[in-house]
Copies of this chain bind each other. A is one copy, B any other.
Amino acid sequence: MSRRTLSWSAVLGMAALLALPALAAANSQDLEAAEAGKLAESVGINSMWVVVAAVLVIFMQAGFAFLEIGFSRGKNVGTVVAKILTNFSIAAICFWAVGFAIAFGVHDAFGIDGLWGTDGFFLTDYFGHPSPDPGVIPPDGGQAAFPVMGLSDATVEAKFLFQFAFCAVSLAIVWGTTLERIKFGVYIIYAIVFASLIYPLAAGWVFGGGFLQTGDWLGTGIAGMQDFAGSTAVHLIGATGALAVLLLLGPRRGKYGPDGKPRAIPGHSMPIFGLGVIILLIGWFGFNPGSTLGALDGRFTEVAAVTLLAAAAGVIFAVITAAWKTKTIDIGMAGNGMIGALVAITAPSGYVELWAAPIIGAVAGIIVPLGVYAIDKYIDDPVGALTAHGLCGVWGTLACGLFTAPRLAQYNAFGNPDGGLFYSGSFAQLIAQAAGILIVFTFVFSMSYGTFWLIKKVYGLRVSDEEEEAGLDITEHGMYGYPEQFIPAPELIGYATSPGSRDVPAPQVTPKEVTT
Contacts and interface: CB of A to CB of B under 8 A. Distances in A.
A493 B326 contact: no
A262 B500 CA distance: 12
Contacts of A480: 266, 270
A298 B41 contact: no
A308 B74 CA distance: 31
A227 interface: no
A211 interface: no
B271 A69 contact: yes
Interface in A53-77: 54-56, 58-59, 61-62, 65-66, 69-71, 73-75, 77
A394 to B, nearest CB: 20
Given A47-B298, A278-B84, A354 B485 contact: no
Interface string A149-166: 000001101101100100
Given A44-B298, A332-B500, A495-B263, A326 B478 contact: yes
Interface string A77-93: 11111101110111111
A449 to B, nearest CB: 23
A214 to B, nearest CB: 24
A483 interface: yes
A439 interface: no
Contact of A362 (B17, B85, B312, B406): B17
A96 B500 contact: no
Contact of A328 (B309, B478, B516): B478
Interface in A382-439: 382-384, 405-407, 422
Contacts of A483: 266-268
A356 B25 CA distance: 12
Interface string A281-301: 110011001000011111111
Contact of A274 (B85, B254, B304, B514): B85
A501 B85 contact: no
Nearest to A497: B373
A298 B82 contact: no
A44 B269 contact: no
B305 A160 contact: yes
Contacts of A263: 490, 493-496
Interface string A475-516: 011111111111100110111111111111001010111111
A49 interface: yes
Contacts of A353: 24, 27, 127-128
B498 A509 contact: no
B271 A80 contact: yes
A354 B294 CA distance: 23
Nearest to A302: B157
Contact of A334 (B82, B91, B296, B405): B82
Given A278-B61, A478-B326, A498-B322, A161 B331 contact: no
B478 A157 contact: no
A274 B81 CA distance: 6
A329 interface: yes
A440 interface: no
Interface stretch (A200-208, A343-351, A466-474): A466-474
27 contacts: A20-B356, A27-B353, A41-B41, A44-B296, A48-B295, A51-B304, A54-B304, A55-B282, A55-B285, A59-B282, A62-B279, A65-B271, A75-B514, A77-B270, A81-B271, A86-B329, A88-B315, A92-B309, A127-B354, A157-B304, A158-B301, A264-B494, A265-B493, A266-B502, A372-B498, A373-B497, A511-B516
A39 B297 contact: yes
**How many chain copies?**
3
Contacts of A248: none
A297 B85 contact: no
A311 interface: yes
A21 interface: yes
B58 A281 contact: yes
A376 interface: yes
A369 interface: yes
A299 B130 contact: yes
Nearest to A406: B31
B312 A264 contact: no
A273 interface: yes
A301 B184 contact: no
A75 B513 CA distance: 12
Interface string A338-380: 1000000000000001111011001000000100110010000
A212 interface: no
Contact of A51 (B43, B285, B502): B285
A52 interface: yes
A39 B122 contact: no
A257 to B, nearest CB: 7
A93 B355 contact: no
